[in-house]
Amino acid sequence: MALLKPVPTCTSLAVAPLSRAHMSTYIRRGAREGAAVSVLSNRTYRRLLGAQVIALVGTGLATVALGLLAYDLAGVGAGVVLGVVLAVKMIANVLVAPLAAAVTDRVGRRTLLVSMDLVRCAVAVALPWVDAVWQVVVLVAVLQVAAATFTPAFQAVIPTVLTDERDYTRALSFSRMAYDVEGVVSPVLAAALLTVISFSWLFVGTAAGFLISAALVLSLTLPARDADSTSFAERVLKGVRVYLRTPRLRAQLGLNLAAAAGGAMVLVNTVVLVRAELHLGPSAVAVALAVFATGSMTAALALPRLLDHRPERAVMIRACAALVTLMAVGAATFWLVGVRWVPLLGLWALLGVAYSAVLTPVGRLIRISAHPGDLPALFAAQYALSHAQWLGTYLLAGLLGTLLGPALTLATLTALAAAGLLQATRTWHGADTVEHTHADLPAHHPHLTNATPCSTGWRHTHRYVIDRTHHRWPTPAR
């Protein structure tokens, strides 16, 4: 009998040892992949993300259908109707979000989200039956009130579900991508559907999207909201007060303005540049907008990895500086050589990258700037204040595009974006952890557990947020 050969031991296998660099690469790659998997393996977040994507696609179908409905009711005056609708939407966003956050402060999160989805579903069902412009305006106002209530509340739920900062960062990227995918998928889906059905049926798709979103949210158990015993007026003003008294969020106003200036140029004037300047067809407009959305999605995919190693301020300020530089280059190009198709697509793609890098990390700033119970009010403040800036830049981009042409319009918006960048750079400085003193708290107050007495009161250091014991941002002790 032939002898069996011994099985080689682990020490006898010829395996080249991993270098430290290779091992570090494998560890980092595994951590990144594991973080992404851990986010999507969270059942609650996975369903919330599904609800967001489905509702966004439905909203996109409604946007297309509203344009066709306006034309059906007003003919050549459809542009005026859509302008009024846009103004109503923006005004509702600015005025309603803080009020809604205060009114619904004591309503359960799940009840609130499901109720707003059902309201939006009812409006979508009613829209095909209208026969007057004023009815469209009223229904859109109701739709936007529901959206202005739903969106900040939805945004405030995510950080309570994903408590790990890395997971939450990836959730923000998925959310940004959802908006970008909606901008690309919804028009294409609407165009495909319109080949076999009338535009009124698009509203049915919108209603179905909101119903599915409500069903997904209803299937979840969401974290309870902290009780708030303050008055209604205080709850209305709380989010804006905290926002304006926190340096990094005041800086976000400048970053929002810069992003709105660049985004308004793309969203308002792409159709003019492509149709009037380049004399291309409607499909080219869709291509240009899709290129901008693709750039935005690319940045959203890369940001979690970047934010693992870079602070938010460095990423967002540099992205804003890139946005301003690209806008300036675009204005100069339009002035010197006019609008050209390939350079326009390249500019739009890069603007999409910078735009997304400025806006995607905002949720992280808000999360570290408030206690969990104050998050709905703070997200509502961001929603309202940013939409006020969008309203202004939308109107400015449209007016200047008509009066001055593309080069001077983009140059003016570049100056506005540069002003926002300057404000953000000057306002956002210092650390989140601040040494400060309390002169108005009694010695037995729970907040002073680790504080030490000093000549002006009690001194300690911690991550600073505006709340009942911290009314204003302090000057760091020296």
Comparing 418 with 302, the larger pLDDT belongs to 418
How high is the pLDDT of residue 301? 87
At residue 191, does pLDDT exceed 70?
no
Q: What is the pLDDT of residue 79?
A: 53
7-23 residue pLDDT tens: 333 333 333 444 444 43
pLDDT of residue 453: 82
Q: What is the pLDDT of residues 333-374, one digit of tens each?
A: 999 999 999 999 999 999 999 999 999 888 888 888 877 777
Work out the percent of the chain whose per-residue pLDDT is above 90. Answer: 23
pLDDT at residue 307, as a whole number: 87
Is pLDDT at 234 greater than 70 in this prediction? no
Average pLDDT, the chain: 80
Residues of the chain above pLDDT 70, percent: 82
pLDDT digits (tens, 9 = 90+) for 114-170: 999 999 999 999 988 988 888 888 888 888 888 888 888 888 888 888 888 788 888
Distances (CA, A) of 5 to 2, 8, 11, 12: 9, 9, 16, 14
Output the pLDDT for position 138.
Answer: 87
What pLDDT, on a 0 to 100 scale, did the predictor assign at position 478?
Answer: 43
Asked if residue 429 has pLDDT above 70, the reply is yes
Set out the domains of the chain in order of their start, with CATH numbers.
Answer: 37-225 (1.20.1250.20), 243-429 (1.20.1250.20), 435-478 (no CATH)
